[in-house]
Protein backbone atom coordinates (compact mmCIF):
# COMPACT_ATOMS: atom_id res chain seq x y z
CA UNK A 1 0.00 0.00 0.00
CA UNK A 2 0.97 3.65 -0.31
CA UNK A 3 1.17 4.03 3.49
CA UNK A 4 3.68 1.17 3.67
CA UNK A 5 5.74 2.82 0.94
CA UNK A 6 5.71 6.09 2.91
CA UNK A 7 6.99 4.27 6.00
CA UNK A 8 9.90 2.91 3.92
CA UNK A 9 10.63 6.36 2.50
CA UNK A 10 13.73 7.98 3.88
CA UNK A 11 15.48 11.18 2.88
CA UNK A 12 18.84 12.85 3.08
CA UNK A 13 19.51 16.46 3.84
CA UNK A 14 21.77 18.38 1.47
CA UNK A 15 24.62 17.91 3.96
CA UNK A 16 24.09 14.15 4.05
CA UNK A 17 23.99 14.02 0.26
CA UNK A 18 27.20 16.07 0.03
CA UNK A 19 28.89 13.74 2.54
CA UNK A 20 27.81 10.76 0.43
CA UNK A 21 28.93 12.46 -2.79
CA UNK A 22 32.41 13.10 -1.39
CA UNK A 23 32.78 9.33 -0.97
CA UNK A 24 31.85 8.52 -4.59
CA UNK A 25 35.05 7.74 -6.48
CA UNK A 26 33.84 7.60 -10.08
CA UNK A 27 33.43 11.07 -11.64
CA UNK A 28 30.66 9.77 -13.93
CA UNK A 29 28.72 8.21 -11.04
CA UNK A 30 29.17 11.37 -8.99
CA UNK A 31 27.50 13.45 -11.72
CA UNK A 32 24.78 10.84 -12.20
CA UNK A 33 23.91 10.86 -8.48
CA UNK A 34 23.82 14.66 -8.52
CA UNK A 35 21.55 14.55 -11.57
CA UNK A 36 19.07 12.24 -9.82
CA UNK A 37 19.18 14.13 -6.52
CA UNK A 38 18.91 17.65 -7.95
CA UNK A 39 16.30 16.94 -10.65
CA UNK A 40 14.13 14.58 -8.62
CA UNK A 41 14.00 12.14 -11.52
CA UNK A 42 13.44 8.42 -11.23
CA UNK A 43 16.39 6.04 -11.54
CA UNK A 44 15.13 4.66 -14.87
CA UNK A 45 14.74 8.18 -16.25
CA UNK A 46 18.39 8.96 -15.44
CA UNK A 47 19.55 5.68 -16.96
CA UNK A 48 17.57 6.40 -20.17
CA UNK A 49 18.65 10.06 -20.43
CA UNK A 50 20.04 10.84 -23.84
CA UNK A 51 22.25 13.80 -24.65
CA UNK A 52 19.72 14.93 -27.24
CA UNK A 53 17.26 15.56 -24.38
CA UNK A 54 19.47 18.29 -22.86
CA UNK A 55 18.73 21.59 -24.58
CA UNK A 56 21.11 24.56 -25.01
CA UNK A 57 18.96 26.58 -22.59
CA UNK A 58 19.74 23.99 -19.86
CA UNK A 59 16.39 22.23 -20.00
CA UNK A 60 16.22 18.48 -19.56
CA UNK A 61 13.37 16.58 -21.24
CA UNK A 62 12.15 13.51 -19.37
CA UNK A 63 10.18 11.28 -21.73
CA UNK A 64 11.76 7.81 -21.47
CA UNK A 65 12.76 5.30 -18.85
CA UNK A 66 14.87 2.14 -18.77
CA UNK A 67 14.39 -0.66 -16.28
CA UNK A 68 17.87 -2.00 -17.09
CA UNK A 69 20.65 -1.10 -19.48
CA UNK A 70 19.86 -3.99 -21.83
CA UNK A 71 16.15 -3.23 -22.23
CA UNK A 72 14.57 -0.85 -24.67
CA UNK A 73 13.42 2.55 -23.58
CA UNK A 74 9.77 2.88 -22.74
CA UNK A 75 7.49 5.78 -21.96
CA UNK A 76 7.91 7.23 -18.49
CA UNK A 77 5.85 5.84 -15.63
CA UNK A 78 2.78 8.05 -15.84
CA UNK A 79 3.33 9.22 -19.45
CA UNK A 80 3.84 12.77 -18.15
CA UNK A 81 6.59 14.18 -20.40
CA UNK A 82 8.21 17.06 -18.59
CA UNK A 83 10.97 19.62 -18.92
CA UNK A 84 13.15 20.40 -15.92
CA UNK A 85 15.50 23.36 -15.79
CA UNK A 86 18.99 22.27 -14.73
CA UNK A 87 20.63 24.57 -12.21
CA UNK A 88 23.89 26.19 -13.41
CA UNK A 89 26.12 24.04 -11.18
CA UNK A 90 24.56 20.78 -12.39
CA UNK A 91 24.62 21.87 -16.02
CA UNK A 92 28.33 22.75 -15.72
CA UNK A 93 29.02 19.20 -14.51
CA UNK A 94 26.90 17.63 -17.26
CA UNK A 95 28.21 19.79 -20.10
CA UNK A 96 31.48 17.82 -20.63
CA UNK A 97 29.45 14.60 -20.95
CA UNK A 98 27.54 16.08 -23.89
CA UNK A 99 30.63 15.93 -26.13
CA UNK A 100 31.49 12.31 -25.25
CA UNK A 101 30.70 9.60 -27.85
CA UNK A 102 27.39 7.75 -27.74
CA UNK A 103 23.76 8.75 -27.23
CA UNK A 104 23.44 8.22 -23.48
CA UNK A 105 24.31 11.01 -21.08
CA UNK A 106 25.54 8.52 -18.50
CA UNK A 107 27.58 5.81 -20.21
CA UNK A 108 27.96 6.78 -23.84
CA UNK A 109 26.97 3.97 -26.19
CA UNK A 110 25.45 1.85 -23.41
CA UNK A 111 23.75 3.42 -20.41
CA UNK A 112 24.95 2.81 -16.87
CA UNK A 113 23.20 -0.27 -15.50
CA UNK A 114 20.90 -0.12 -12.46
CA UNK A 115 23.13 -2.71 -10.75
CA UNK A 116 26.23 -0.50 -11.12
CA UNK A 117 24.27 2.54 -9.94
CA UNK A 118 23.06 0.68 -6.84
CA UNK A 119 26.41 -0.97 -6.10
CA UNK A 120 28.41 2.27 -6.32
CA UNK A 121 25.84 3.95 -4.06
CA UNK A 122 26.23 1.21 -1.45
CA UNK A 123 30.03 1.51 -1.54
CA UNK A 124 29.87 5.28 -1.04
CA UNK A 125 27.23 5.00 1.72
CA UNK A 126 29.45 2.58 3.63
CA UNK A 127 32.55 4.73 3.09
CA UNK A 128 30.80 8.00 4.03
CA UNK A 129 28.91 6.70 7.06
CA UNK A 130 25.59 8.32 6.06
CA UNK A 131 22.38 6.41 6.63
CA UNK A 132 21.47 3.95 3.90
CA UNK A 133 18.67 5.04 1.57
CA UNK A 134 17.46 3.79 -1.80
CA UNK A 135 18.21 5.59 -5.07
CA UNK A 136 14.46 6.28 -5.29
CA UNK A 137 14.78 8.10 -1.98
CA UNK A 138 16.97 10.68 -3.75
CA UNK A 139 13.71 11.72 -5.42
CA UNK A 140 11.96 11.86 -2.04
CA UNK A 141 14.88 13.91 -0.68
CA UNK A 142 14.49 16.33 -3.59
CA UNK A 143 10.81 16.82 -2.81
CA UNK A 144 11.54 17.19 0.90
CA UNK A 145 14.11 19.91 0.21
CA UNK A 146 11.69 21.77 -2.05
CA UNK A 147 8.89 21.56 0.54
CA UNK A 148 11.22 22.83 3.26
CA UNK A 149 12.11 25.77 1.00
CA UNK A 150 8.42 26.65 0.63
CA UNK A 151 8.01 25.67 -3.02
CA UNK A 152 4.30 25.26 -3.86
CA UNK A 153 2.94 21.73 -4.29
CA UNK A 154 1.88 22.39 -7.91
CA UNK A 155 5.42 23.43 -8.89
CA UNK A 156 6.87 20.34 -7.17
CA UNK A 157 4.33 18.08 -8.90
CA UNK A 158 5.16 19.58 -12.30
CA UNK A 159 8.89 19.17 -11.69
CA UNK A 160 8.74 15.50 -10.70
CA UNK A 161 6.04 14.54 -13.20
CA UNK A 162 3.24 13.72 -10.78
CA UNK A 163 -0.16 15.23 -10.12
CA UNK A 164 -0.73 17.52 -7.16
CA UNK A 165 -3.02 14.87 -5.67
CA UNK A 166 -0.29 12.23 -5.89
CA UNK A 167 2.27 14.55 -4.32
CA UNK A 168 -0.15 15.44 -1.52
CA UNK A 169 -0.89 11.74 -0.89
CA UNK A 170 2.69 10.48 -1.06
CA UNK A 171 4.27 13.36 0.85
CA UNK A 172 1.54 14.07 3.41
CA UNK A 173 4.02 13.41 6.24
CA UNK A 174 6.09 16.36 4.95
CA UNK A 175 3.05 18.59 5.00
CA UNK A 176 2.45 17.81 8.68
CA UNK A 177 5.80 19.35 9.54
CA UNK A 178 4.83 22.35 7.38
CA UNK A 179 1.53 22.65 9.26
CA UNK A 180 3.40 22.41 12.58
CA UNK A 181 5.83 25.10 11.42
CA UNK A 182 2.93 27.30 10.29
CA UNK A 183 1.18 26.94 13.65
CA UNK A 184 4.40 27.77 15.49
CA UNK A 185 4.88 30.86 13.29
CA UNK A 186 1.35 32.02 14.02
CA UNK A 187 1.82 31.49 17.75
CA UNK A 188 5.08 33.47 17.68
CA UNK A 189 3.55 36.32 15.69
CA UNK A 190 0.29 36.51 17.66
CA UNK A 191 1.46 37.45 21.13
CA UNK A 192 -1.38 39.77 22.23
Model pTM score:
0.84
Give a three-class secondary structure readout of the chain.
CHHHHHHHCCCCCHHHHHHHHHCCCCHHHHHHHHHHHHHCCCHHHHHHCEHHHECCCCEEEECCECCCCCCCCECCCCCCCEEEECCHHHHHHHHHHHHCCCCECCCECCCCCHHHHHHHHHHHHHHHCCCCCCCHHHHHHHHHHHHHCCCCHHHHHHHHCCCHHHHHHHCHHHHHHHHHHHHHHHHHHCCC
Q: pLDDT tens digits for 73-131? A: 555 555 678 999 999 999 999 999 999 999 999 999 999 999 999 999 999 999 999 99
| Mean pLDDT on 168-175 | 77
| Per-residue confidence (pLDDT) for residue 26, from 0 to 100 | 97
Amino acid sequence: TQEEANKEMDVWTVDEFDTFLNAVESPLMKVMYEFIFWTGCRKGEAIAMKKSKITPDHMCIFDETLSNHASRESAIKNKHVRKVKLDPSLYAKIEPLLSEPGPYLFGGNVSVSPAVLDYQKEVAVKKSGVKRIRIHDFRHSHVSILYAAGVPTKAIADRIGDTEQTVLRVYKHLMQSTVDQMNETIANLHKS
